[in-house]
Each structure stands twice: as structure tokens, then as C-alpha cells.
Amino acid sequence: MRTLLIGIDSGTQSTKALVVDAKNGKVLGSGAQAYDLIPNLPPGAKEQHPQSWREATASAIRQALRSAKATASEVKAIGVSGQQHGFVGPRPRWKPSTPISPASSRA
């Protein structure tokens, strides 16, 4: 069985994932999923639903695993990077608390 790693980058416009062979550092597969801002907000407001980030992360990982012809059981570690000021604390049952974006200019 291979020893694989997954790298995840959650940015302001999309989430990307890579599957990497832990022994030789070779990228075996990749995936990406874009997300949009919530439409029709007041001027200066830029918000995204955190649920979109979760869904995009799951989709990017599935794409990367499929591209690498890999299974989740082969993955031994996951590394994550994200946009600045993008922390969203969970409410009960791990539902994201509010739609936000670090790009919003509202005070």
C-alpha cells in the first residue's frame, strides 16, 4: 500500500487539493472547486457561506483522490492552508456560524 499525503489550500475564490506520494514527493493527483460570493449584498459587502468552503474542500479531495487513483485509506496525513482571517467558529452540530469573507470592507 502507498503512503500518501493530501495538501489543501482554501483560498478566497476556490479550494485546491493535491495528493502527494510521501516517499518521493511526486504529485499524483489534484482537484479544485470554486465558490462565489453571496449575490445582492450592500455595497462593500463580500460574503461567502462557510458551507460552500466545506463542500468545495470535500469535492477537491474527491477529485484529487480520483485523479491519483487512490483511496482514503492510503492517506496518512493532511496539511491545510487557508485565507487570512478566514476562521469560522462552529455552532452546535458543527454548523458554520455565519457567512463571511475576509475581503468585505464593512466595519
100 in a structural domain? no
DSSP assignment of 62-99 equals HHHHHHHT--GGGEEEEEEEE-TT----B-GGG-B---
CATH code, 52: 3.30.420.40
Residue 87 has a pLDDT of: 60
Residue 83 has a pLDDT of: 72
Residue 50 has a pLDDT of: 82
93 in a structural domain? no
Supply angle C-alpha 61, 64, 65, rounded to 5.
85
Backbone dihedral angles phi then psi of residue 83, each to the nearest 5 degrees: -65, 150
26 in a structural domain? yes
Segments forming the whole domain that contains residue 61: 4-83
Local confidence pLDDT in tens for the 107 residues of the chain = 899 999 999 988 899 999 999 999 999 999 999 998 888 988 888 788 888 888 999 999 999 999 999 999 999 999 999 876 666 666 666 666 666 666 666 54
